[in-house]
Amino acid sequence: MTSPPAAGQPSAETVAAYFRELQDRICDALVEVDGGTFDARELRGERGGVARPRVLTDGEVIEKAAVNFSHSRGDSLPLAATERRPELAGRSFEATSVSLIVHPRNPYAPTSHANIRFFIAHPPEGRSPGGTRDEEEEEEGWWFGGGFDLTPYYGFEEDAVHWHRTAAQACAPFGEDLYARYKAACDDYFYLPHRQEMRGVGGLFFDDLNRLERPAELDLFGRCFAFGRSIGDHFLPAYLPILQRRKDLQYGERERGFQLYRRGRYVEFNLVYDRGTRYGLQARARTESILASLPPLAAWRYDYAPEAGSPEARLASDFLVRRDWIPASNPSHPEGT
Amino acid sequence: MTSPPAAGQPSAETVAAYFRELQDRICDALVEVDGGTFDARELRGERGGVARPRVLTDGEVIEKAAVNFSHSRGDSLPLAATERRPELAGRSFEATSVSLIVHPRNPYAPTSHANIRFFIAHPPEGRSPGGTRDEEEEEEGWWFGGGFDLTPYYGFEEDAVHWHRTAAQACAPFGEDLYARYKAACDDYFYLPHRQEMRGVGGLFFDDLNRLERPAELDLFGRCFAFGRSIGDHFLPAYLPILQRRKDLQYGERERGFQLYRRGRYVEFNLVYDRGTRYGLQARARTESILASLPPLAAWRYDYAPEAGSPEARLASDFLVRRDWIPASNPSHPEGT
């Protein structure tokens, strides 16, 4: 567990304050590895909304990273949100998120992605938002979503195992089965049906989260917010060791070419399937922020298949498949914790 | 007008024979310009279906070209086809098409795209297909669709004018307003809402075509098939002169970089909006054929805007906008015809 959770009623301000701090922390850590600087600006939206897109381009280690924070307010919930919750239709709302992607230069270093988001519908006029009474918990108008996932170009078992162990650690305090459930959801989500292939080695994916059984001493918002923070706080420990040990490996044209080719799959996933990307484009959000996730350079080769038994072939056969990355014994409490 | 049209009843075989010949003709012409060779194979599908994907990669002039022919048969019309024609639900059908894209290497040479397709639903058992009786014309179970469009990276007025004049010539024998109508439909279709930008300078786009007023001496199928052939036959005269005069222009890193950046928009359009691509991916058609349209290499640059007044800026301001490319006087019969 990390810092003590906030108590009290669900609040976008409270969550946004954490997201801002997380954005700073992740950007600082990436700058320390790379030496480059983020293009940082603050954009004002309607009704006091704010966005802080931050993009680092053409760095020594990082070819492109986008670490975006936003906090927006709206008069009326978008259709995407009320389809599953018709009782919230027409309510004003706030949404806040931190969303990031890192495309390293070195083909041996995997691309990583993380997102945490919080959504709250304000109560109809004349009612207080509340947060503890049973009646109101039944129609809680807030939820968290997010997760993180890893996309290698060359597979390393130790990287995938470290990534998943850290994911399991992030989940452990909040429930027995959370890691298994959100790991499976991640495998389901980051899948390209037209390639019959996973996008990467997965990680965690959750949505519509407003119930958790632990920690018992917290209310539902406190538990879910603590879980969201745990996901956010575990991103750097999950990714930095991998980036550090791969960023200086020697590579040549072959590895670079394969990386560009595989990045094409990333483009395919994001533009064809990713809900956040497609919803953002449809909603006419700021296109440059939404598409900041796309790689700086990507290639398509017609009908290419790597030579059998090559490291390139092993990526698809051994890594882009559903696998249990953590040995069955004691999955959520690996050595060293 | 080109070769004499076939009379008689609508037939996928008849259309497919023309499409095969057109594929050969276009591939031969591109090979003559480039010197490279197409990867050609013939793939057999269910119920005697056949596909001939042909891709030329890494040529001297053409960085990637895909010229695909297919003729497929199915037991039951896909939803995409019966939504607008519920009376055809459950019928067996044939579909045949030729679809092509050319990505030249030189940034001054535009990318071009063309597609012609024919769809026919077979009559329910016990009825002959017919093609002339009024009653049956009312529920014609066949139609053509397609068109061609041009996507420059650096805009040249003379190229856009030549392209559109050739498009107008292709339409002229079949009706007064066809060019204007299909030109407008092309502008509507090849548009990226999230960029508020057209994909290119347009051309022609038509769909659901099974009615035409001319030539009066032909039946409806004869007219529509003649129109489809006219579109197919006018692609090379529209494109080759442009490719020829741009393929050897001097360029450097700046132009190459801008070309790769603009190709990103092509990827965005095809994966986010293009109906054929999205339908093909959902229908689990052969992915490598569908995505053969994607450029060999594409780039994304965060929040990039070309310098005001530069040739790169003029592309968006002067070319990727709705424009009448043909002087108003005598649009469909330009000089030389």
pLDDT in tens, B167-181: 999 999 999 999 999
Q: Does B47 touch chain A (CB under 8 A)?
A: no
- State how far residue B297 is from chain A, nearest Cα, in angstroms: 4
User: What's residue B2's pLDDT?
Assistant: 44
Out of B193, B278, B299, closest to residue A297 by CB: B299
User: What's residue A237's pLDDT?
Assistant: 98
Out of B278, B290, B302, closest to residue A288 by CB: B302
Using an 8 Å CB-CB cutoff, list chain A residues near B300: 64, 291, 294-296
First to last CA, chain B: 11
State the count of interchain CB pairs (< 8 A) between A and B.
78
User: What's residue A47's pLDDT?
Assistant: 81
Cα(A91)–Cα(A75) distance, rounded to whole angstroms? Answer: 7
Q: Is B336 a residue whose pLDDT tops 80?
A: no
Interface of B with A in 60-89 (CB under 8 A): 64, 66
Looking at residues A181-187, what average pLDDT do you find? 98
Cα(B261)–Cα(B153) distance, rounded to whole angstroms? Answer: 9
Cα(A324)–Cα(B3) distance, rounded to whole angstroms? Answer: 63
Using an 8 Å CB-CB cutoff, list chain B residues near A265: none
User: What's residue B140's pLDDT?
Assistant: 65
Element (DSSP H or E) covering residue A216: none
Q: Does A90 touch chain B (CB under 8 A)?
A: no
Out of A55, A57, A195, closest to residue B287 by CB: A195
Q: Is A337 a residue whose pLDDT tops 50?
A: no
- pLDDT tens readout for residues A115-166: 999 999 988 765 555 544 444 444 569 999 999 999 999 999 999 999 999 9
Q: Which of A38, A194, A263 best tests the B interface by mutation, with the highest count of B CBs <10 A? A: A194
Subunit contact A55:B303, Cβ cutoff 8 A: yes
The CA-based angle B44-B50-B55, given to 5 degrees, is 95
Using an 8 Å CB-CB cutoff, list chain A residues near B294: 264, 300
* Phi-psi sector, B298: left (phi>0), alpha (psi -120 to 50), beta: beta
- State how far residue A82 is from chain B, nearest Cα, in angstroms: 23
Subunit contact B288:A271, Cβ cutoff 8 A: no
Cβ atoms of residues A165 and A326 within 8 Å: yes
Interface of B with A in 15-44 (CB under 8 A): 39
- Closest CA in chain B for residue A303: B288
Looking at residues B262-277, what average pLDDT do you find? 96
* Phi-psi sector, A303: left (phi>0), alpha (psi -120 to 50), beta: left
Q: Which tokens hold the place of A313?
A: 């072939």
- Closest CA in chain A for residue B295: A300
What string of DSSP letters covers B196-228? Answer: TEESSSEEEEEEEE------TTS-HHHHHHHHH
Cα(B67)–Cα(B70) distance, rounded to whole angstroms? Answer: 10
Exposure of B280 in the CB half-sphere (CA atoms within 13 A)? 23
Q: Is A279 a residue whose pLDDT tops 90?
A: no
Cα(B230)–Cα(A110) distance, rounded to whole angstroms? Answer: 50
How many Cβ atoms are within 10 Å of A60's Cβ, its own excluded?
Answer: 11
- pLDDT tens readout for residues B300-330: 999 999 999 999 999 999 999 999 999 765 5
Spatial CA neighbour of B102 closest among B295, B300, B297: B295
Subunit contact B272:A272, Cβ cutoff 8 A: yes
- Closest CA in chain A for residue B192: A281
- State how far residue A278 is from chain B, nearest Cα, in angstroms: 8
Q: Which tokens hold the place of B234?
A: 């006018």
Exposure of A25 in the CB half-sphere (CA atoms within 13 A)? 15
Subunit contact A295:B300, Cβ cutoff 8 A: yes
Q: What share of chain A is helix, strand, coil (3-state, %, to 5)?
A: 40, 20, 35
Subunit contact B302:A292, Cβ cutoff 8 A: yes
Cross-strand bridge partners of residue B66: B55, B101
Using an 8 Å CB-CB cutoff, list chain B residues near A297: 260, 297-299
Interface of A with B in 150-209 (CB under 8 A): 193-195
Name the more confident of B330 and A260: A260
- State how far residue A269 is from chain B, nearest Cα, in angstroms: 9
What ipTM was assigned to the predicted interfaces of this complex? 0.90
Spatial CA neighbour of A32 closest among A247, A207, A280: A247
Cβ atoms of residues B64 and B295 within 8 Å: yes
- pLDDT tens readout for residues A290-320: 999 999 999 999 999 999 999 999 999 999 9
- pLDDT tens readout for residues B120-170: 998 876 555 554 444 444 456 999 999 999 999 999 999 999 999 999 999
Subunit contact A291:B299, Cβ cutoff 8 A: no
Subunit contact B298:A303, Cβ cutoff 8 A: no
Q: Is B69 a residue whose pLDDT tops 90?
A: yes
Subunit contact B291:A268, Cβ cutoff 8 A: yes
Subunit contact B296:A299, Cβ cutoff 8 A: yes
The CA-based angle B118-B94-B74, given to 5 degrees, is 140
Q: Does A268 touch chain B (CB under 8 A)?
A: yes
Subunit contact A302:B281, Cβ cutoff 8 A: no
- State how far residue A37 is from chain B, nearest Cα, in angstroms: 14
Confidence tier at A111 by pLDDT (50, 70, 90): very high
- State how far residue A319 is from chain B, nearest Cα, in angstroms: 21
- Closest CA in chain B for residue A269: B271
Looking at residues B23-35, what average pLDDT do you find? 98
Cα(A43)–Cα(B211) distance, rounded to whole angstroms? Answer: 52
Element (DSSP H or E) covering residue A252: none
Confidence tier at A336 by pLDDT (50, 70, 90): very low
- State how far residue A297 is from chain B, nearest Cα, in angstroms: 4
| Active site amino acids of A | 113
Contacts of B192 (CB under 8 A, 6+ apart): B198, B199, B265, B268, B269, B272, B273
Q: Tokens 């499976």: give the residue.
A: A184
Q: Which of B57, B194, B253, B269 best tests the A interface by mutation, with the highest count of A CBs <10 A? A: B194
Q: Which tokens hold the place of B286?
A: 């052969």
Out of B57, B194, B290, closest to residue A287 by CB: B194
Interface of B with A in 275-314 (CB under 8 A): 278, 281, 284, 287-288, 290-292, 294-303
- What is the residue-averaged pLDDT of chain B? 90
| pTM of the predicted model as reported, rounded to 2 decimal places | 0.91
Cα(A51)–Cα(A66) distance, rounded to whole angstroms? Answer: 13
Q: Which residue in B71, B103, B113, B164 is the catalytic one?
A: B113
Using an 8 Å CB-CB cutoff, list chain A residues near B256: none
Subunit contact A55:B302, Cβ cutoff 8 A: yes
- Closest CA in chain B for residue A304: B288
User: What's residue B7's pLDDT?
Assistant: 55
